Structure 1
Amino acid sequence: MKTTFFIAAATAFTTVSSLAIPPAKRDGGSISITPHDSYGSSIGVLGCKINVNRVAYWPMQPSCDGMCMKVSANGRSTTLLQIDTSGGAYDISYEAWNILKTGQSATTDPVEGGGFAATYERVDMSQCADIITESSGKLAFTAANSMNYIAGCPANSWVGRNYALYNIANSVCSLGVDERCTLDMSVSNQPSCPSGLGSQKPLAGDQVMNIIYGTGAKQVAA
């Protein structure tokens, strides 16, 4: 079973071309949500700059305008940021899954199990603002490995207006330098970073922590 990581508090829940990624419609429906406890993002969203306990791994490509999903089950609801695709499942962070299932944090009362019934609604990105922890409120991406996704988002899309690039080499923030990079698409599609793009130095102090399925123990993501 796949699983991912979510460090949100239980109080967050309530009783350039034809290749451009198309804008998301406001949609929703009934789904079965499954737990995911190992953080990762194929589009390069940095786990050390978001709350990894409130993310979604869903079948569709993350939209440039509609990455925020409101998920409800068992009289509870939360918003989740979709930062990756799945093989067809509606995976969400293990912590979020545990709270939606039982009302309790996975760190204090972890449970196991498969999918259970939920509904989702794609909502305005402002409703996921509290998931983003980057200092300027931007959604942070790895500068070295996110340009295919960034370049596919129109300049006037939410991602096009609200991304930040960092010289961090991987989505779990274990390599690189925690520094902002700049990008001038009129000059180059390659970001410019103070320490040189693509640093592979071991990075300390920005650890991403997974909550392990079934145990509630925290473990550094690798």
Structure 2
Amino acid sequence: MLFSALSLLTSAAAVSATALPSSFSSSSSSAAAAPAKRASGSISVTPHDKFASSLGVLGCKINTNRVAYWPEARGCDDLCVKVSANGRSVNLLVIDHSGGAHDISYDAWNYLVTGRSATDDPTQGGGIPATWEDVPMSECADLITEPTGRLAFSAPTGMNTVGSCLGNAWFAENYVLYNIYTSQCTFGYDEVCTLEGNLPQCGHTLGETAVLTTQPVYNIDYGTGKLSLAA
């Protein structure tokens, strides 16, 4: 049940029970075949000020100021990490794969450096020494803002992730699909979709790129602390 970077343009129709992407392993895979799980470690964390999720996690349904972009593969129920530095800690949702750096939201990085939000006391810099550890998903529950408390995915673009993780007990009970096309919630419809077979069923045409303005996602711009609309 491991993920790596997934294309935001993956078609939902391409997902089937017999053809999961090779970057995932199914729930029936043997433990011996899976890479060893790294429960904690020392890293350098760097600031990331532009929200995106190649896994299809919707930014309008989570706290985008508390996310991580990790180079290591993660499990379907292993998306919450605690990062500590300078005597402070933040819990983060791992919602994307990085090319090698341990990136975290600019606001989270700023808090670890200064103890204050980037909107109040923006600072600049590179990697800072930190430690991280896997923590239960319950410790990231307050970072999920979707009305039912479930982790929301794009039905048009997030089906590779969802289709590969449905065999996981936590994931199967704690995900929801929306007919929103982009992870920044700029196109689509703010409506819940259901799965029939392997295909999402939504009130409007799946993946329609109608402009969506009711679910804005904001970035905190690096160095200035000003808000800008994510795109």
TM-score range, shorter chain: 0.7 to 0.9
How far apart are 1:162 and its partner, in Å? Answer: 1.1
**2:175 is aligned with 1:163:** yes
CA distance in 2, matches of 1:62, 1:48: 22
The DSSP-based 3-state class of the residue aligned with 2:186 is coil
Q: C-alpha offsets along residues 40-84 of structure 1, whole Å, 9 cap, x if unaligned?
A: 000000000000000000102342010000000000001000000
Secondary structure at the counterpart of residue 92 of structure 2: strand
Root-mean-square deviation (CA), in Å?
1.6
The 5 Å alignment of 1:50-69 reads 50-69=62-81
Q: Aligned equivalents of 1:71 and 1:22: distance in 2?
A: 28
Aligned to 2:138: 126
Q: Tell me if the contact between 2:26 and 2:167 (Cα under 8 Å) persists in the aligned partners.
A: no
Distance in 2 separating the partners of 1:88 and 1:129 = 27
For residue 116 of structure 1, the aligned residue among 117, 128, 150 is: 128
Structure-1-length-normalised TM-score: 0.87
Matched, 1:150 2:159: no
Identity between Structure 1 and Structure 2 (%): 57
Displacement over 6 Å in runs of 4+: none
Write the distance in 2 (CA, Å) between the matches of 1:21 and 1:130.
28
Instruction: Render the CA deviation track for 1:79-125: whole Å, top value 9, x for unaligned.
Output: 00000000100000000000011101100110000000000000100
In the alignment, structure 2 segments of 5+ residues that lack a partner are 1-16, 28-35
Q: Distance in 1 between matches of 2:166 and 2:188?
A: 28
> Where does residue 70 of structure 1 map in the other structure?
82
Which structure 1 segments of 5+ residues have no match? 1-15
Q: Tell me the distance in 2 between the aligned counterparts of 1:62 and 1:42.
A: 14
Q: Distance in 2 between matches of 1:158 and 1:184?
A: 20
CA distance in 1, matches of 2:96, 2:169: 18
State yes or no: 1:211 paired with 2:223.
Answer: no
Moved more, 88-97 or 159-168: 159-168
Q: 1:22 to 1:158 in 2, by over 3 A?
A: same
Q: 2:202 aligns with which of 193, 198, 217?
A: 193
Residue identity opposite 1:212 in structure 2: D
Name the residue aligned to 2:186: 174
Q: Secondary structure at the match of 2:43?
A: strand
Deviations 1:143-186 (A, max 9, x none): 0011111111142332222110000000000000000000023x
Give 2:103's aligned residue. 91
Matches of 1:27 and 1:167 in 2, distance apart?
34
Letter in 1 for 2:226: A
CA distance in 2, matches of 1:130, 1:157: 20
Q: Could you tell me how far apart the structure 2 residues matched to 1:38 and 1:194 are?
A: 30
Letter in 1 for 2:130: A
Contact 1:155-1:161 at 8 Å conserved across structures: no
So what's the TM-score if we normalise by structure 2? 0.84
Letter in 2 for 1:200: T
